[in-house]
Amino acid sequence: MTIHGYTLGTGAVAKSPVSPADFEDMKKSALFGEEDVKYLRLSHDIVKDQVEPILDVWYGFVGANPHLLASFTGKADGKPLGDYLGGVRKRFGQWILDTARAEYDQKWLDYQHEIGLRHHRIKKNKTDGAPSTDLVPFRNLFALIFPVTFTLKPFLATKGHPAEDVERMHAAWVKSCLLQLTLWSYPYVKEGDF
In sequence order, the β-bridge partners of residue 58 are none
Q: Greatest CA separation found in the chain?
A: 50
Q: How many CB atoms lie within 10 A of CB 64?
A: 9
CB-based burial, 94-123: b 16+ in 10 Å, e otherwise? bbbebbbebebeeebbbbbbbbbbbbbeee
CATH of domain 21-188: 1.10.490.10
Could you tell me the pTM of the whole model?
0.97
pLDDT by 10s per residue, the chain, length 194: 799 999 999 999 999 999 999 999 999 999 999 999 999 999 999 999 999 999 999 999 999 999 999 999 999 999 999 999 999 999 999 999 999 999 999 999 999 999 999 999 999 999 999 999 999 999 999 999 999 999 999 999 999 999 999 999 999 999 999 999 999 999 999 999 99
The pLDDT assigned to 1 comes to 75
Distances (CA, A) of 23 to 70, 103, 194: 31, 13, 12
| Residues 13-29 pLDDT 10s | 999 999 999 999 999 99
CB 128 within 8 Å of CB 71: no
CB 137 within 8 Å of CB 151: no
The pLDDT assigned to 15 comes to 98
| Residues 75-93 pLDDT 10s | 999 999 999 999 999 999 9
Rg over alpha carbons for the chain, rounded to the nearest Å, is 16
The pLDDT assigned to 91 comes to 98
Dist CA 102 CA 100 (whole Å): 5
Q: What residues contact 168, with CB distance under 8 A and at least 6 apart?
A: 35, 39
User: How many Cα atoms occupy the beta-carbon half-sphere of 25 within 13 Å?
Assistant: 5
CB 169 within 8 Å of CB 175: no
